[in-house]
Amino acid sequence: MFITRSPSLLTLILLGLSIFVYYFGVGVYYAMGQEPSLTFEFLYTAAFLCGVVWWLRAEARRFNTKPVYCLGLLAGIGWMVLIPYHLFKTRGVRGFIPLIAMIGTVVAAYVLALIVYFVLSTYLQRA
């Protein structure tokens, strides 16, 4: 019920989920000594950019801000500056909580990938 009233929260959760899946997958790839496949990289790039654009559109509706003309290009090139600026401008210092959550998602995905790697390597050594 709360998510239907707040589409920006739903898009933020989906963005966080795509970030988690990507960094978990990359961690597993690197733990196994392989490079991530190009398809995996392409799908993450597309999902991330779409997620950022959808989230920024939902945020623009929520806070009644003027949308940018070419949001896809701006999100593709300047998302590292755009997201923290938007969060600070619309929410103040409290706006950095979602940003910290996204960074925590990346760290949690890498930690989980390392745990899976160590469990699998221990299991394979015993077999």
Which amino acid makes up residue 58?
A: A
Residues in Cβ contact with 100 at an 8 Å cutoff, skipping those fewer than 6 apart: none
Tell me the residue range of the domain where 54 lies: 2-126
> How is residue 108 written in tokens?
């949690």
DSSP 8-state code for residue 34: -
Q: For residue 104, what pLDDT is reported?
A: 93
> How is residue 44 written in tokens?
């993450």
Q: For residue 122, what pLDDT is reported?
A: 84
Q: For residue 68, what pLDDT is reported?
A: 66
Per-residue pLDDT of the chain (127 residues), as tens digits, is 455 567 778 888 888 999 999 999 998 888 888 999 999 999 999 998 888 888 888 887 777 777 666 777 777 787 788 788 888 888 888 888 888 988 999 899 989 988 988 888 887 778 6
Q: For residue 125, what pLDDT is reported?
A: 79
pTM for this model (two decimals) = 0.78
Q: How many domains does the chain have?
A: 1
Q: For residue 102, what pLDDT is reported?
A: 87
- Give the phi and the psi of residue 32 in degrees, each rounded to 5: -85, 0
Residues in Cβ contact with 15 at an 8 Å cutoff, skipping those fewer than 6 apart: 48, 51, 52, 54, 55, 102
Q: For residue 127, what pLDDT is reported?
A: 67
